[in-house]
A and B are shown apart, each in its own frame.
Chain A
Amino acid sequence: MNGILKKILCASMAAVIGLSLVSCGKTSTMERIEKSGKLVVGTSADYAPYEYHTMIDGKDTIIGIDISIVNEIAKDLGVQLEIVDMSFDGLLAALNSDNVDIVIAGMNPDEDRRKAVDFSKIYYEAKQGVLIRAEDKDKIKTIEDLKGKNVGAQLGTTQESIAKKQMENSTLVSLGKIPDLVMELKNNKIDALVVELPVANGYVKNNSDLALSEITVEEESGGSAIAVKKGNADLVALIDKSLDRLMEEGAIEKFVQEANEKNVTK
């Protein structure tokens, strides 16, 4: 009995150790992309309209503004595109452990993140919107109107720090996911919600009981950029070149519009 137990224990330990040792050798990201002929992109596909799941011809597909952009980048690099969907907080870890080549997820290149990874130039500066219930449209028009009220924002985002700094007379409610915050808003648990404008527009279009407030918030050093593992300046340069082309052509604005039109209200 004891012998068998010991064997089982040893075998499972060996398996665990063996599996955790699976890692790649040290090659630059660019070399790896060229060798495999594909660009592996990490994203967190629960952030419409930036990236989200949908059914196209009966097949589960990830689409959105960011996906259209990396599609163009892969085309410029002459490689195929592979998208890996994971949770947002695991993205940079995946990048540093070489599980993905680049990360695009509507990510703001803030100080802390810059310490961990390199970023491309900012490809899209979203404006911030304040989402409220339609019935409050006449009541909540300025930041002063939010005094003493509950304001929601997504945990650990630019919107959270905006709410903290610019709406200091109201109580901040931070949750992990936008849909949960929208539910709070609909159920009178919070009175306003700071989100990026494209996201806010999506919700207003699909929910007759929600509206966009006239409140404008001052921009923090916002905007989204593509993350690349540190020490890959060659890849960052190529990405920047593609982004420059897209911005010149006005393609990114077009992607934003397209994504907003694709909302599933039928």
Chain B
Amino acid sequence: MDFSFLKDYSPYFINGTISTIVIAILTVFLGVIIGTILALMKISNKRIAKAIASAYIEFIRGTPLLVQISIIYYSISFPKFTILDIEMNRFIPGVIAMAINSGAYVAEIIRAGIQAVDKGQMEAARSIGFNSIQAMRYIILPQAIRNILPALGNEFVVVIKESSVLSVIGIVELMRSADIVKAAIYKPFAPLIVVAVIYFILTFTLTRVLGFAERRMRTSD
């Protein structure tokens, strides 16, 4: 296969890689905030909060990301400005859609992590005079985080891969870079191989880093 187009078109792939990484970081960051709020709502005793969180999680997990992105992109209109050559009027709705989606999955990761901590821990904390928020904050969450972090790392990998869907709304991430180059060089196949390799390098590096962090955490037991 002929990859000579890389000489002229590599900047597209580089830009695409950068914006894919930025999208993934922002999505995971916002997703953790949304997910934490939802998880706390879901395990709380308030029935309304519980119902809202469950409905959100079920709905988001039960509909395709592609549909969610299209709905959010066409219903939010954003003013046009650019930062670092990235068009924010596309970028921001795209990231919001990804975060809304990721938040539902993160919520379940966090909820499972919290509920995996033994019930006795909460009872013990309450019996020595903590109220439930204090018990959560000082006793349960520090233990839960150890369960949560590895799964959160996987969510990061998933987000990197799924952000390729954002190409449908014209965000110049990796997949859209491939589309642009495919059209410009009249050769539709080779650019796909290039982005596949880049995606793989990104996710493989990340899994390695996560594995290392996990081992470190285990030794600190």
Contacts and interface: CB of A to CB of B under 8 A. Distances in A.
A206 B9 contact: no
A180 interface: yes
Interface of A: 5, 16, 19-20, 22, 45-48, 52-55, 58, 60, 85-87, 90, 99, 177-180, 182-183, 186, 202-203, 205-207, 263-264, 266
A16 to B, nearest CB: 7
Contacts of B12: 53, 60
Given A45-B180, A179-B182, A22 B170 contact: no
A179 B179 contact: yes
B180 A53 contact: yes
Contacts of A53: 12, 180-181, 183-184
A87 B170 CA distance: 6
A58 B64 CA distance: 38
A90 B93 CA distance: 15
Nearest to B133: A1
A58 B11 contact: yes
B50 to A, nearest CB: 13
7 contacts: A45-B183, A46-B180, A54-B8, A177-B183, A178-B183, A179-B182, A186-B188
Interface in B73-101: 76-80
Nearest to A19: B78
Contacts of A266: 4, 7
Given A85-B170, A186-B189, A203-B186, 6 more contacts: A19-B76, A87-B168, A182-B186, A183-B188, A206-B187, A264-B184
Given A54-B8, A55-B8, A16 B76 contact: yes
A65 to B, nearest CB: 14
A183 B79 contact: no
Decide if the interface of chain B is mainly helix, strand, loop or mixed: helix
Contacts of A19: 76-79
Interface residues of B, number: 28
A54 B12 CA distance: 9
What 6 A-B pairs have minimum CB-CB distances, sorted nearest first?
A179-B188, A206-B186, A179-B182, A46-B183, A183-B188, A52-B184
Interface string B131-158: 0000000000000000000000000000
A74 B180 CA distance: 25
A11 to B, nearest CB: 14
A60 B10 CA distance: 11
Task: Report which residue of A22, A47, A205 has the largest number of chain B beta carbons within 10 angstroms of its beta carbon.
Answer: A22
B37 interface: yes
B74 to A, nearest CB: 9
Contacts of A90: 170
A238 to B, nearest CB: 25
Interface in B107-152: none
A180 B5 contact: no
Given A19-B78, A20-B77, A53-B180, A206 B185 contact: yes
Contacts of B168: 87
B133 to A, nearest CB: 9
A177 B167 CA distance: 13
B169 interface: yes
Task: Report which residue of B37, B77, B79 has the largest number of chain A beta carbons within 10 angstroms of its beta carbon.
Answer: B77
A110 to B, nearest CB: 23
Nearest to B52: A5
